[in-house]
Amino acid sequence: MSMDRIVVAGASLGGLRTAEALRHEGFAGELIVIGAEHHFPPYDRPPFSKEILKGEWEADRGRLKVIEHLNAELVLGRRIVKLHHALSEVELDDGSRISFDGLVIATGASPRMLASIDASTPGVFVLRTYDESVALREALAKSPKVAIIGAGWIGCEVAATCRGYGLDVTLIEYFPQPLERTLGPVMGEWAAEVHRRHGVDLRLGVGVKGISGQGAVERVELEDGSFVEADVVVLAVGVAPETSWLEGNDFDLENGVLCDETLLVKGANNVVAVGDVVRWPNAMFNKVMRVEHWSNAVEQASVAAHTLLHGPSEAKSYVAVPYVWSDQYDLKIQYVGTAGAFHSVFEGSIEDNKFVAGYEADGMLVGALCVNSPARMIKYKRFISTHPQIEDISANLP
């Protein structure tokens, strides 16, 4: 498909890597990259809850590297408010419109809010952008009592970082265990013990009723009637895909923008999507899924760029064993695969904080939690892609 102009909607990891992949594939036309944030090169997000929040890196470290000859027009600090698909135009928040021959949707996801909390209250933070990470770091420097709402990957990392500062931390989670959505209840309990051992005050299985304070937040009220004193509240209850701008174009926008296996948006022939915003059929697990992790954005970028330039006949499918990592205290936590039911610890020892635990679904190994075992993790990533039967798995481990 010959295109004169491609618009990349989103200037973070997914958008940037897709723009680069388009050039790498020989696209010589006009490239316009539109992003809501002002920083370019964009800051990579994983350090926002780790190195940058800990103050370990000097100012410019943490920016993504960009290829030398990207030759893209950058439209930064602008939100796209609407896609007019039939007109092949995007409309920006300043009223301007940009037309395209091809479009990459890479608008990612934004922090979910709780209806019971006014997130603009002084002392309340979300953590998605570089500026938010710096603002939170500055707040932590004042030795506040910290309450974190949500014990998912981000909430747990922020808790660990705050404990590294020696701060009082209360970690509040609606589910019975931290990380339960990915790790399940058994390994979730392991995660709970890790945080307790490091001095985190855990409030599990309880929702948040609201916050209160004079001028700034002073406490969080929980649904069991108890209160958590806090000067800093971090709202870490997940992210929602940024798809409102795509409404009205006959796309399927349930939990992300639905694509086919080549990352072509369903209902379009010149629109692809990449990253946190994408829901696509992952043939690896015969499941339609949305993955919110770094490696997914990077890997999808290459596939989507190829699909956009070469059309359906030459497009390749994105088939993957997802990978997510999390650094908490002295633990390198890595999960490969998709969520399943905890099966058993396959190797290593929980007591030594060095182990691999397997997860199954439909009679097959579909996931592996690897702690302080990076060399083993990669073997399991490959192993999972062979769809090994869970029955007798211990005899067949990689």
- Answer yes or no: are the C-beta atoms of 364 and 347 closer than 8 Å: no
Strand bridging mode 331-337 / 364-371:
antiparallel
Q: Which is nearer to other proteins, 219 or 381 (CB)?
A: 381
Pairwise CA distance, residues 159 & 332, whole Å: 15
Which among 270, 274, 324, 282 is positioned nearest to 299, based on CA atoms? 274
Q: What is the DSSP letter of 174?
A: S
117, 187, 308, 377: residue in contact with other proteins (rule CB under 8 A): 377
Q: Pick out residues in 23-52 that bind other proteins (CB under 8 A).
A: 44, 46
Site membership for other proteins, residue 298 (CB under 8 A): yes
Position 17 contacts other proteins (CB under 8 A): yes
| Region from 269-277, 294-302, 305-313, 337-345 binding other proteins, contact rule CB under 8 A | 294-302
Q: Which of 28, 59, 375, 395 lies at the binding interface for other proteins (CB under 8 A)?
A: 375
Element (H, E) at 172: strand 169-173
142 part of the interface to other proteins, by CB under 8 A: no
Helix (H, G, I), strand (E, B) or coil at 119: coil
CA pair distance 275, 257, nearest whole angstrom: 10
User: Which residue in the block uniquely carries the two structure tokens 């007591």?
Assistant: 351
Report which residue type is found at 196: R
Residue of 27, 165, 227, 325 interacting with other proteins (CB under 8 A): 325
Binding other proteins by CB under 8 A: which of 84, 250, 374, 394? 374
Beta partners for residue 171, in sequence order: 148, 202
How many angstroms separate the Cα of 228 from the Cα of each of 141, 155, 170?
Answer: 20, 16, 8
Residue 332 near other proteins by CB under 8 A: yes
- The answer to whether residue 199 forms part of the interface with other proteins (CB under 8 A) is no
Alpha-carbon distance values, 239 to 274, 281, 293, 355 (Å): 16, 21, 12, 29
Q: How far is the CB of 50 from other proteins (least distance, A)?
A: 11
133 touches other proteins (CB under 8 A): no
CB of 46 vs other proteins, minimal distance in Å: 7
Cα–Cα distances (Å) from 297 to 17, 240, 317, in that order, read: 8, 16, 15
| Range in contact with other proteins (rule: CB under 8 A) among 138-146, 165-173, 184-192, 376-384 | 376-384
CA 320, CA 296: separation in Å to the nearest integer?
8
Is residue 302 within the footprint of other proteins (CB under 8 A)? yes
Identify the residue among 28, 58, 65, 120 touching other proteins (CB under 8 A). Answer: 65
Least distance in angstroms from the C-beta of 119 to other proteins? 29
Cα dihedral 90/247/275/63 (nearest 10): 50
Q: Does 295 bind other proteins (CB under 8 A)?
A: yes
What's the closest the beta carbon of residue 296 comes to other proteins, in angstroms? 11
Angle between helical axes of 13-24 and 294-314 (0-180°, round to 10)? 40
Residues 243-282 that bind other proteins (CB under 8 A): none
Rounded least distance, CB 378 to other proteins, Å: 4
Nearer to other proteins, 262 or 326 (CB): 326
Among 381, 383, 384, 390, binds other proteins (CB under 8 A): 381
Closer of 308 and 370 to other proteins (Cβ): 370
User: 7 or 377: whose CB is closer to other proteins?
Assistant: 377
Q: Which residue from 168, 242, 299, 360 is in contact with other proteins, where contact means CB under 8 A?
A: 299
Q: Of 323, 335, 355, 383, which lies in the binding site for other proteins, with binding defined by CB under 8 A?
A: 323
Give how far the C-alpha of residue 248 lies from the chain's centroid of Cα atoms, to the nearest Å. 26
Other CB atoms closer than 10 Å to residue 92's CB: what's the count? 16
Q: Quick one: which H or E segment has residue 314?
A: helix 294-314
Q: Which residues bind other proteins (CB under 8 A)?
A: 17, 44, 46, 65, 294-295, 298-299, 302, 323, 325, 327, 332, 334, 374-375, 377-378, 381-382
